[in-house]
């Protein structure tokens, strides 16, 4: 069967400022799990297209796919000041394919998996798969090829039956036993794209998607945790194959658990790979030994995941800030650059808590501080619940569109105030 895989992401920024074109690693895993002896597979990545819809049309006309797999990465850019909703762009792609092809269109990806039913209905695809879908997409391709309708019981599947959208319980899960297939991507360009080419190390189930059921997370609390020797071997092989200078260890908390992080750094140092890398650091449970090892192993920059505590409860905010300040101090002393994110306008926010956050940012020394106006509300979160109670949304399904929560107490002045504050701080970015 002819299978066309499309990476639809065209966002090229992180926090609306830094150059970031993340290689579509999820789609590469999907391609890596397909049986290439059995199927003819083509990959179309829209990231660098000048005219993406024309490229879609030309590829579909020429390749005549019978099945199309589309990766939907971002719901939006989550910026209040310059909001870009990403889903309409994926919908446009589907609409264009429909005008020239009867292929079965299957959507998945990080954004899709956060709101599978809503994305399915908005996008108008034929099938959706929520979760890590390497093996499941491959199984679906086999079933579709032989015309077998038995796939309707797959976990995480979304489809239409008698005019109604049905979403099967759970999520697709993957053992990540196959490597991502990178040869169809423009690796030379991704090599220069900022942040580094993604290499999966581990992902925490607690963060993705916000409302994930336990089915997607194993007993250790991780969605994926790859063996250290496998990660090191992949870095080596990617460096040899693509002359890679920089990678991004895909992980929401590289330092968790601490022993694992130290072992990975030591293995990288021992293997003498000599590569620069970036990653995400959880702002707690860290020590100076790890920071030293990270630096020695080639780490250039860490992104700190935002955890503000509860602005309505000064105690919890001070606690979070103390833990974060401690990690920042370790990074400053160890010479490790870090980016920090802070949200303003959370539930309970007041003038005092805003000033407290600003004082905190002035007390540390990040390479870039991302100040974000409002909370971009995600389903299944506490803010979503409050947004509903306060009438900002009627139902969480509305969150398929960008929705920002800004506490009433600061709403009137927060944008002007923050704009004024960032003017004197060149390394602060407001979005
Ligand atoms: C690492 C990361 C980054 C790094 C990327 C670095 C790099 N070089 O790759 C950086 C820091 C740059 C980044 C930036 C941003 N990110 Co980010 N990022 C992540 C993170 C932690 C991991 C993504 C990843 O690589 N996963 C590993 C791969 C293997 O998994 P995957 O992509 O999900 O693919 C699997 C499934 O989704 C599925 N799948 C994928 N494609 C397809 C296709 C089909 C057909 C099917 C069936 C299935 C399928 O199967 C895959 C294999 O298992 C996720 C959160 C998370 N824990 O997942 C957020 C996440 C993807 N990011 C997100 C966002 C919002 C952003 C930003 C917009 C933030 C901002 N304010 O600027 C930017 C956008 C950047 C851009 N230009 O697009 C959101 C996207 C969804 C949303 N809420 O809108 C996520 C999900 C976080 C969240 N929970 O909100 N990010």
Question: Which residue did the predictor score with more confidence, 217 or 388?
Answer: 388
- Give the pair of three-digit tokens for residue 404: 């920002």
Q: What average pLDDT does this structure show over 85-90?
A: 97
Q: Which CATH architecture has domain 2-167?
A: 3-Layer(aba) Sandwich (3.40)
Q: Whose CA is nearest to atom 85 of ligand 1?
A: 110
The alpha carbon of 79 and the centre of ligand 1 are apart by a number of angstroms equal to 16
Strands 368-373 and 18-19: unpaired
Q: Whose CA is nearest to atom 58 of ligand 1?
A: 208
Quick check: 365 pLDDT over 90? yes
Mutate to test the pocket of ligand 1, among 74, 83, 189, 198 (most ligand atoms within 8 A of CB): 74
Task: Supply the pLDDT for residue 220.
Answer: 63
The alpha carbon of 223 and the centre of ligand 1 are apart by a number of angstroms equal to 14
Mutate to test the pocket of ligand 1, among 110, 217, 369 (most ligand atoms within 8 A of CB): 110
pLDDT band at 217 (very low <50, low <70, confident <90, very high): low
Task: Supply the pLDDT for residue 207.
Answer: 41
Task: Supply the pLDDT for residue 283.
Answer: 87
Question: Which residue did the predictor score with more confidence, 213 or 277?
Answer: 277
Quick check: 218 pLDDT over 90? no
- Give the pair of three-digit tokens for residue 15: 């926090």
Quick check: 382 pLDDT over 50? yes
Task: Supply the pLDDT for residue 18.
Answer: 82
The top-level CATH class assigned to 187-430 is alpha beta
Pocket of ligand 1 (CB under 6 A): 9, 11-15, 20-23, 25-27, 29-30, 69-71, 73-78, 106-111, 113-114, 129, 132-134, 137, 174, 195-196, 198, 200, 203, 207-208, 248, 250, 252, 303
7-16, 144-153, 332-341, 405-414: range with lowest mean pLDDT = 144-153
pLDDT band at 214 (very low <50, low <70, confident <90, very high): very low
Task: Supply the pLDDT for residue 25.
Answer: 97
Backbone region of residue 16 per phi and psi (left: phi > 0; alpha: psi in -120 to 50; beta: other values): left
Q: Cα–chain-centroid distance for residue 369? A: 19
Q: What average pLDDT does this structure show over 186-205?
A: 88
The percentage of the chain sitting over the pLDDT mark of 70, rounded to a whole number, equals: 93
CA neighbor of 300 nearest in space, from 235, 373, 382, 245 = 245
Q: What is the dihedral of CA 147, 149, 150, 153, to 10 degrees?
A: 140
Domain residue limits, the chain = 2-167, 187-430
Task: Supply the pLDDT for residue 245.
Answer: 86
Q: What average pLDDT does this structure show over 222-226?
A: 84
């Amino acid at each position: 069967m002819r299978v066309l895989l499309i990476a639809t992401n065209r966002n090229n920024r992180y926090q609306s400022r830094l150059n970031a074109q993340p290689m579509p690693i999820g789609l590469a895993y999907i391609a890596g799990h397909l049986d290439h002896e059995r199927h003819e597979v083509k990959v179309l990545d829209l990231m660098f297209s000048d005219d993406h819809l024309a490229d879609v049309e030309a590829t579909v006309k020429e390749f005549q796919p019978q099945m199309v797999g589309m990766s939907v990465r971002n719901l939006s850019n989550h910026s209040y000041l310059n909001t870009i909703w990403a889903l309409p762009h994926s919908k446009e792609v589907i609409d264009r394919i429909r005008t020239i092809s009867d292929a079965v269109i299957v959507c998945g990806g990080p954004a899709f998996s956060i709101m599978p039913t809503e994305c399915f209905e908005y996008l108008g695809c034929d099938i959706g798969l929520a979760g890590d879908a390497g093996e499941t997409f491959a199984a679906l391709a086999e079933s579709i090829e032989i015309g077998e309708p038995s796939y309707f019981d797959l976990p995480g599947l979304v489809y239409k039956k008698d005019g109604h959208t049905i979403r099967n319980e759970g999520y697709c899960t993957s053992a990540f036993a196959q490597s991502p297939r990178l040869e169809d991507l423009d690796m030379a360009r991704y090599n220069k794209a900022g942040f580094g080419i993604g290499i999966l190390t581990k992902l925490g189930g607690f963060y993705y998607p916000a409302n994930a059921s336990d089915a997607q997370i194993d007993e250790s609390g991780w969605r994926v945790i790859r063996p250290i020797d496998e990660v090191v071997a992949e870095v080596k092989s990617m460096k040899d194959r693509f002359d890679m200078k920089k990678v991004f260890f895909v992980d929401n908390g590289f330092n968790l658990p601490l022993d694992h992080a130290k072992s990975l750094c030591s293995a990288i140092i021992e293997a003498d790979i000599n590569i620069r890398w970036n990653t995400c650091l959880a702002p707690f449970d860290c020590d100076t030994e790890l920071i030293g090892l990270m630096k020695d192993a080639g780490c250039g920059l860490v992104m700190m995941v935002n955890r503000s505590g509860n602005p309505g409860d000064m105690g919890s905010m001070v606690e979070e800030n103390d833990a974060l300040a401690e990690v920042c101090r370790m990074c400053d002393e160890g010479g490790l650059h870090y980016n920090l994110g802070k949200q303003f306008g959370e539930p309970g926010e007041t003038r005092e808590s805003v000033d407290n956050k600003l004082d905190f940012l002035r007390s540390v020394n990040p390479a870039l501080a991302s100040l974000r106006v409002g909370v971009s509300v995600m389903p299944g979160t506490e803010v979503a619940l409050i947004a509903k109670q306060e009438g900002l949304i009627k139902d969480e399904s509305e969150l398929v569109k960008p929705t920002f929560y800004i506490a009433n107490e600061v709403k009137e002045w927060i944008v002007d105030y923050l704009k004024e504050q960032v003017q004197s701080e060149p390394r602060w970015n407001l979005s």
